[in-house]
Amino acid sequence: MVFSSLLFLFRFLPIVLLAYYVLPKKWHNLVLFLASLVFYAWGEPVYVILILFSTTVDYVAGQAVAYCKANQKKKGAIAAVCCSAVINLSLLGFFKYADFFLQILHQVTGIKTGQLHLPLPIGISFYTFQTMSYTIDVYRGDAKVQKNLITFGAYVSLFPQLIAGPIIRYKDVAKQLDQRKETVSLFSQGIFHFMIGLGKKVLIANQIGMLWQQIAAMKTGSLTTATAWLGVLAFTLQIYFDFSGYSDMAIGLGAMFGFSFPENFNYPYASKSITEFWRRWHISLGTWFREYVYIPLGGNRKGIVRQIVNLAIVWFLTGLWHGAYINFVLWGVYYGILLVIEKFLLKNVLKALPAILQHFYTMLLVMVGWSLFSWQDMTDAAGYIKTMFFYGGAGYINDQTFYLLLSNGILILIALFGSLSWSKDWCNRYFFPEGTMRREICRIVLVIVLLLSCVAMLVNSSYNPFLYFRF
Amino acid sequence: MKKLQIIMVAVFCIMLFSGSLAITVLPDQKYSDLENRQLQQKPKLTKKNFTKGTFQTEYENYLNDQFPLRDRWVDAAVALQTKLGKKDINGVYIGKKGYLLEKNDTEQLDKQQVKENVDTLTSFLNDMEKEYGKRHVSCMMVPSKTLAMSDYLPSYVSAQEPKDVLDSIQKGLNDPKILLNLKDTMQKHQKEYIYYRTDHHWTTLGAFYAYQEWAKRTGQAKEYPIKHYQQEKVFDDFYGTTYNKVHVAVPKDEVVLFHNTKDTQKIHINMDQGEVKADTLYFPKAAKKGFNRYDVFLSKNTFQMEITTKAKTGKTLLLIKDSFANCFVPFLTESYDHIILIDYRYGKTPIGTIQSEYSDITDVLVLFNTEKFMQNTKLSKLARTKKEEKTLEEFDADEFLEDM
Q: Does residue A427 or residue B124 have the better pLDDT?
A: B124
**φ/ψ bin of A110: left (φ > 0), alpha (ψ from -120 to 50), beta (otherwise):** left
How many residues does the structure list for chain A? 471
- Tell whether B35 is within 8 A of chain A (Cβ): yes
Tally the C-alpha atoms within 13 A of residue A86's C-alpha that lie toward its C-beta. Answer: 7
**Looking at chain A, which residue has its C-alpha nearest residue B245?**
A465
- Tell whether B346 is within 8 A of chain A (Cβ): no
- Amino acid identity, position B175: D
For residue B51, how many other CB atoms are within 10 A of its CB?
A: 12
Q: What share of chain A is helix, strand, coil (3-state, %, to 5)?
A: 75, 0, 25
Angle between the N-to-C axes of helices A326-341 and A378-389, in degrees from 0 to 180, rounded to the nearest 10: 50
Secondary structure, 3-state, chain B: CHHHHHHHHHHHHHHHHHHHHHHHHCCCCCEECCCCEECCCCCCCCHHHHHHCHHHHHHHHHHHHCCCCHHHHHHHHHHHHHHCCCCEECCEEECHHHCEEECCCHHHCCHHHHHHHHHHHHHHHHHHHHHHCHHHEEEEEECCHHHHCHHHCCCCCCCCCCHHHHHHHHHHCCCHHHEEECHHHHHHCCCCCCECCCCCCECHHHHHHHHHHHHHHHCCCCCCCHHHEEEEEEEEEECCHHHHHCCCCCCCEEEEEEEECCCCCCCEEEECCCCEEECCCECHHHHHHCCCHHHHECCCCCCEEEEECCCCCCCEEEEEECHHHHHCHHHHCCCCCEEEEECCCCCCCCHHHHHHHCCCCCEEEEEEEHHHHHHCCCCHHHHCCHHHHHHCCCCCHHHHHHHC
pLDDT of residue B262: 64
Residues of chain B contacting residue A17, judged by C-beta atoms under 8 Å apart? 13, 16
In contact, B85 and A407? CB cutoff 8 Å = yes
Query: What CA–CA distance (Å, rounded) separates B206 from B195?
Result: 6
Flag whether pLDDT at B211 surpasses 90.
yes
Contact A440 B8 (CB under 8 A): yes
Least confident of A155-164, B246-255, B256-265: B256-265
Contact A406 B76 (CB under 8 A): no
- Tell whether B105 is within 8 A of chain A (Cβ): no
Contact A440 B67 (CB under 8 A): no
pLDDT of residue B54: 87
Q: DSSP labels for A37-58?
A: HHHHHHH-TTTHHHHHHHHHHH
Give the tens place of pLDDT for each residue, B141-195. 999 999 999 999 998 888 888 889 999 999 999 998 889 999 999 999 999 999 9
Which residue, among A10, A194, A445, A450, would best test binding to B if mutated, counting the most B CBs under 10 Å from its CB?
A: A10
Give the tens place of pLDDT for each residue, B330-375. 999 888 989 999 998 888 888 888 888 888 999 999 999 999 899 8
Mind telling me how many Å the CA of B99 is from chain A's nearest CA? 17
Query: What CA–CA distance (Å, rounded) separates B277 from B284?
Result: 15
Flag whether pLDDT at B402 surpasses 60.
no
Flag whether pLDDT at B379 surpasses 90.
no
Note which residues in 147-166 of chain B have CB less than 8 A from chain A: 154-158
Which pairs from B357-362 meet CB under 8 Å and 24+ separation? B358/B316, B358/B318, B360/B316, B361/B132, B361/B316, B361/B317, B361/B318, B362/B132, B362/B136, B362/B314, B362/B315, B362/B316, B362/B317
Mind telling me how many Å the CA of A65 is from chain B's nearest CA? 36
CA terminus-to-terminus distance, chain A: 36
Contact B53 A45 (CB under 8 A): yes
Residues of chain B contacting residue A443, judged by C-beta atoms under 8 Å apart? 8
pLDDT of residue B146: 93
Residues of chain A contacting residue B77, judged by C-beta atoms under 8 Å apart? 456-457, 459-460, 463
Residues of chain B contacting residue A9, judged by C-beta atoms under 8 Å apart? 16, 19
Contact A403 B87 (CB under 8 A): yes
- Tell whether B6 is within 8 A of chain A (Cβ): yes
Nearest to B18 by CA among A198, A192, A14, A455: A14
pLDDT of residue B403: 37
- Tell whether B286 is within 8 A of chain A (Cβ): no
Residues of chain A contacting residue B86, judged by C-beta atoms under 8 Å apart? 407-408, 411
10-residue block means of pLDDT along chain A (471 residues)?
Answer: 91 95 92 93 86 90 88 86 90 85 82 76 85 89 88 90 84 88 93 95 91 86 88 93 92 94 92 92 90 85 86 89 86 91 85 89 93 86 87 81 90 92 83 82 92 93 58 34
Q: Is the ipTM reported for this complex over the cut 0.90?
A: no
The radius of gyration computed from the CA coordinates of chain B, to the nearest angstrom, equals: 25
pLDDT of residue B396: 47
Contact A451 B15 (CB under 8 A): yes
Mind telling me how many Å the CA of A20 is from chain B's nearest CA? 14
Q: Using DSSP, state whether A462 is helix, strand or coil.
A: coil
Residue partners of B341: CB distance under 8 A and separation at least 6: B298, B304, B305, B306, B307, B319, B321, B325, B329
Nearest to A21 by CA among A183, A188, A198: A183
Flag whether pLDDT at B28 surpasses 60.
yes
Mean residue pLDDT across chain B: 86
Q: How confident is the model at residue B44 (pLDDT cuts 50, 70, 90)?
A: confident
Contact A11 B63 (CB under 8 A): yes
Query: What CA–CA distance (Å, rounded) separates A443 from A291?
Result: 36
Which residues of A have a catalytic role annotated?
322
Residues of chain A contacting residue B295, judged by C-beta atoms under 8 Å apart? 470
**Looking at chain A, which residue has its C-alpha nearest residue B22?**
A10
- Amino acid identity, position B141: M
The radius of gyration computed from the CA coordinates of chain A, to the nearest angstrom, equals: 24
In contact, A220 and A383? CB cutoff 8 Å = yes
Contact A444 B4 (CB under 8 A): yes
Nearest to A85 by CA among A61, A110, A115: A61
pLDDT of residue B388: 54
Query: What CA–CA distance (Å, rounded) separates B297 from B307?
Result: 13
Contact A11 B65 (CB under 8 A): no
Residues of chain B contacting residue A12, judged by C-beta atoms under 8 Å apart? none
Compare CB distances from A188 to B9, B63, B76 and report the shortest one's residue: B9
Query: What CA–CA distance (Å, rounded) separates A194 from A249?
Result: 4
Task: Provide, rounded to the nearest whole percent, the portion of chain B with pLDDT above 70.
Answer: 93
Nearest to A419 by CA among A347, A367, A369: A367
pLDDT of residue A471: 34
Least confident of A81-85, B33-37, B131-135, B154-158: B33-37
